[in-house]
């Protein structure tokens, strides 16, 4: 109720104007419960707060009545396929135009595999540059939520994305690479199945990193101060999990495309 309380206090000193621009917020609760029922529930919460009910008690009541999404969550990090701005290591070997085309096709393939698992997964696209959100929506269509990535290194952005998607109520959340030619919806389903019996699931990449990571709850410590793009990423992540007492499972090893050599090893072609 902090938003309510700050508005109440501000009204003692000034008039609060309403901005003319609309914003988009989640309508899930209104869809699930119906508009009038949800409005009455909101009004009841407000009245209890104004009569002196503890915000802690109100929060517990709110969470108790909160329904979780039926599906789990999938995070995909995405960039616009602009030559010179994506896959720079790959571009060094085959040229920026071709690298951008390959990245576009790979990303579209992974998004398609996510769509094939839409019965068990809600997919969220996190865009590197928030200014590109609208253009990404035009590229992939408006059927998927598109959000901006947080500032900071890859680890910080991953931790923030997990926090965000878990906050939507998902029990299990995966993050997967968009540059893995062999990744399919079977791997995504297998990861969710594994998380029913462990705390952490990892899809090892050939280069020593991972193409997929899944959690049952947020864990920013797995990502903090990690030396990314190094062949030690997978093992260091497993070491951190072990230090925390987490049980981890691995999926099959797949190739992610970072440079011309890994593209050739993958056997993937544009055809």
pLDDT tens, residue by residue, 163-178: 999 988 899 999 999 9
- Please indicate, yes or no, if residue 174 is contained in any of the structural domains: yes
Residue 178: C-alpha distances to residues 13, 42, 76, 108 (Å): 51, 40, 7, 8
* Domain final position from 64, 91, 115: 64
Asked, for residue 228, whether it belongs to a domain, the answer is: yes
Last residue of a domain, one of 64, 84, 107: 64
Give the list of residues 6+ apart from residue 171 with CB closer than 8 angstroms, or none. 68, 72, 216
Residues 94 and 15 in one domain: no
Within 10 Å of residue 70's Cβ, how many Cβ atoms? Answer: 9
131 and 112 in a common domain:
yes
Name the pLDDT band for 60 (thresholds 50, 70, 90).
Answer: low
For the chain, where are the alpha helices, taking DSSP H only?
2-10, 28-33, 35-50, 55-64, 88-94, 96-116, 133-140, 154-167, 185-194, 233-243, 260-266
What is residue 257's predicted lDDT score, i.e. its pLDDT? Answer: 93
Question: Average pLDDT in the 255-265 region?
Answer: 91
Name the helix (H) or strand (E) containing 124: strand 121-127
Same domain membership, residue 89 and residue 60: no
Number of domains in the chain: 2
Mean pLDDT for the chain? 90
Task: Indicate if 169 and 191 belong to the same structural domain.
Answer: yes
- Residue 194 pLDDT > 90: yes
Give the model's pLDDT for residue 141: 84
- Do 95 and 220 lie in one domain? The reply is yes
If asked whether residues 59 and 187 sit together in one domain, one would say no
Range of the domain at 59: 2-64
Cβ 169 vs Cβ 66: under 8 Å = yes
Are 187 and 96 within one domain? Answer: yes
Same domain, 8 and 134: no
The answer to the question of residue 271 being in a domain is no
Are residue 136 and residue 13 in the same domain, yes or no?
A: no
**Are 47 and 147 in contact, with CB atoms under 8 Å apart?**
no
Residues 261 and 165 in one domain: yes
Mean pLDDT of 154-165: 94
CA–CA gap between residue 199 and residue 180 (Å, rounded): 24
76 and 36 part of one domain:
no
In this prediction, residue 108 carries a pLDDT of 95
**pLDDT at residue 76 is higher than 70:** yes
**Report for 140-149, 165-174, 233-242: range of highest mean pLDDT:** 233-242
Of 63-77, 90-104, 143-157, 250-264, the poorest mean pLDDT is in: 63-77
The residue from 64, 81, 98 where one domain ends is 64
The CATH number for 220's domain is 3.90.550.10
- Is residue 271 over pLDDT 70? no
Q: Which of 140, 149, 89, 135 is nearest to 115 (CA)?
A: 140
Residue 254: which pLDDT band, with cuts at 50, 70 and 90? very high
Could you tell me if 49 and 122 lie in one domain?
A: no
Could you give the CA distance from residue 265 to residue 271 in angstroms, rounded to a whole number? 16
């Amino acid at each position: 109720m902090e938003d309510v309380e700050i508005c109440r206090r501000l009204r003692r000193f000034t008039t609060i104007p309403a901005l003319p621009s609309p914003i988009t917020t989640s309508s899930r609760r209104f869809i699930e419960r119906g508009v009038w029922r949800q409005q009455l529930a909101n009004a009841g919460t407000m009245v209890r707060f104004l009569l002196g009910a503890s915000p802690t008690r109100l929060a517990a009541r709110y969470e108790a009545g909160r329904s979780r999404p039926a599906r789990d969550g999938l995070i995909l990090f995405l960039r616009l396929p602009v030559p010179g701005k994506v896959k720079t290591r790959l571009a060094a070997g085959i040229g920026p135009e071709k690298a951008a085309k390959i990245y576009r096709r790979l990303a579209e393939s992974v998004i398609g595999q996510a769509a094939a698992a839409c019965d068990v997964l809600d997919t969220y696209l996190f865009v590197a540059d928030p200014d590109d959100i609208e253009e990404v929506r035009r590229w992939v269509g408006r059927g998927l939520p598109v959000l901006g990535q947080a500032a900071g290194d890859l680890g910080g952005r991953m931790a923030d994305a997990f926090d965000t998607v878990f906050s939507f109520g998902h029990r299990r959340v995966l993050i997967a690479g968009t540059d893995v030619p062999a990744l399919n919806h079977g791997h995504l389903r297998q990861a969710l199945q594994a998380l029913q019996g462990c705390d952490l699931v990892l899809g090892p990449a050939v280069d020593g990193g991972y193409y997929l990571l899944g959690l049952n709850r947020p864990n920013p410590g797995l990502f903090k101060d990690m030396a990314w793009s190094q062949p030690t990423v997978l093992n260091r992540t497993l070491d951190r999990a072990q230090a925390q007492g987490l049980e981890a499972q691995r999926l099959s090893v797949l190739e992610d495309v970072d440079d011309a050599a890994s593209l050739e090893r993958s056997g993937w072609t544009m055809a």
